[in-house]
Structure 1
């Protein structure tokens, strides 16, 4: 509802949800702020709100412009807008559906900067179809050297490296083990401007069987930070590892342990699509005045 504030400025009250994505354990996933009915907000206000929430991403739900889409989403970090991101996709679809949204087809179709992304309910979880990579293939030696130096790794620590960029710009290094992944302590100054993911296999005897891979995501924006659970990165990793035969067609990735989180990403290849799924739970519901 539009109304003037005490200074005579027109304000709006919009539906606001904060959801926890990729974990069934309370407050141990990746939080996402979702603002509904944001068609009247200018870009600068979306940027200000995303900077203010200070979460890894804030999304704004709008009316679709593509005839096949159910809704349109814009995805902002505190510093920039992204064409696609994974936990914002699942969280936005969950909020849209929880508010009575009914898809036009068997799948929810999200419109975003990367195009149309299908989201389906598989068992009790929502899953999105991994979008095509904008950049894939081996990492050049200069980029690789910069990345492993910034992560304080030696060349022998890395089994393989690939680009897995589906929007945010991910480079991925495959390490020998879950323990090696958890031991990494990045040099944030050297990592500036890069987005680097690392992945290592769990050992069933040493690490357990609740997951098959450990993942971490390092973002060199601003002062640098580690993302708790990252759908876009896991999508790119899944495409790479399944195609190369390193991972089976169905597996679970763990992410966030280094930050005290308990993220679980459920990966499944069905025909030509790779689906990235996880739990989503609403933790805050109300309105935001803009």
Structure 2
């Protein structure tokens, strides 16, 4: 069995930065769920996305998304990478814009994609998709001292302005932890056992999205890091679209943006040497509620080949 695949760096237009992703095309082949999980573990990237024919013929593809350990209902950087990969194969010469319809476990996702289709540079593109669920608040009122201890920080570094730790679900749930400044964000030294206890105690997830208003780039709105416990250690992700989807709920709740459309850039991965930029657009209705939101970013192909299974 031969199966084509590509490796994309997502939320960047520069190879060897952003968040790497394996895109495996199973539209001409098939693998069992167990073998998909094994292959995701073999790639050992934060996520691997598998492309299948859509259940509806008008849809571009059906997606399955896996980490090395489990399947996900939704994730941002596989959605962006898959959209660019799917558009790359169907555009005409020159800069082309297309609409990609992708079936994910969380629902049908519509993505607008710009792909440079020149033969010399058919490696990159920009995709933006509508989030299918609005972020919702989940119960969580942690002690600030506990949060600080888990992150290896001081209590005064937790929170800024009126932002306080919260739990939100924008497609996948996250503990969202605001920090006072960029120095605090860069100084995080997780205490593995305390981190696992605080962010996995009786909850159905263990993902922590940590953010601050202070940024490296002048045109960014927030800088962020995403971490989760594994055994006695803590791992980090260089760019997390689903984390930004949940962060949008904190932005609406604590910043109360005015009516209209707001476009924001979120930095992530800078501490890891994998700088990433995630674009978030929020539509606020006259009552101050979030009526729609979109997530966008670049993706660049850095490798392609054939799996021999």
- Residue 259 of structure 1 pairs with residue 249 of structure 2: no
TM-score, normalization: structure 2?
0.79
Q: Which residue of 1 aligns with 2:151?
A: 151
Residue 15 of structure 1, CA deviation: 1.2
Q: Which residue of 2 aligns with 1:197?
A: 209
CA–CA distance in structure 2, aligned partners of residues 108 and 98 of structure 1: 11
1:151 and 1:213, CA in 2 relative to 1: closer, same or farther beyond 3 A? Answer: same
Residue 129 of structure 1, CA deviation: 1.8
Deviations 1:119-144 (A, max 9, x none): 123796211222315752452337x7
Pick from 226, 239, 250 the counterpart of residue 217 of structure 1: 226
Q: How does 1:1-290 map to 2 (within 5 A)?
A: 12-37=1-26, 40-66=30-56, 69-100=59-90, 107-121=99-113, 125-132=126-133, 135-141=136-142, 147-159=147-159, 160-192=164-196, 193=200, 194-202=206-214, 207-222=216-231, 223-245=233-255, 249-270=262-283, 272-290=291-309
Deviations 1:90-146 (A, max 9, x none): 0011111112289xxx7322111111122123796211222315752452337x765
CA–CA distance in structure 2, aligned partners of residues 87 and 254 of structure 1: 14
The 10-residue stretch of structure 1 (124-133 or 81-90) with the greater mean CA deviation from structure 2:
124-133
Specify which structure has the higher proportion of helix: 1
Gaps of 5+ in 1: 1-11
RMSD: 2.6
Gaps of 5+ in 2: 93-97, 116-124, 201-205, 285-290
CA–CA distance in structure 2, aligned partners of residues 278 and 175 of structure 1: 24
The 10-residue stretch of structure 1 (35-44 or 79-88) with the greater mean CA deviation from structure 2:
35-44
Residue 167 of structure 1, CA deviation: 4.2
Contact 2:137/2:249 (8 A) holds in 1: no
Equivalenced residue count is: 272
Where 1:236 maps in the other structure, the secondary structure is: helix
Contact 2:8/2:20 (8 A) holds in 1: yes
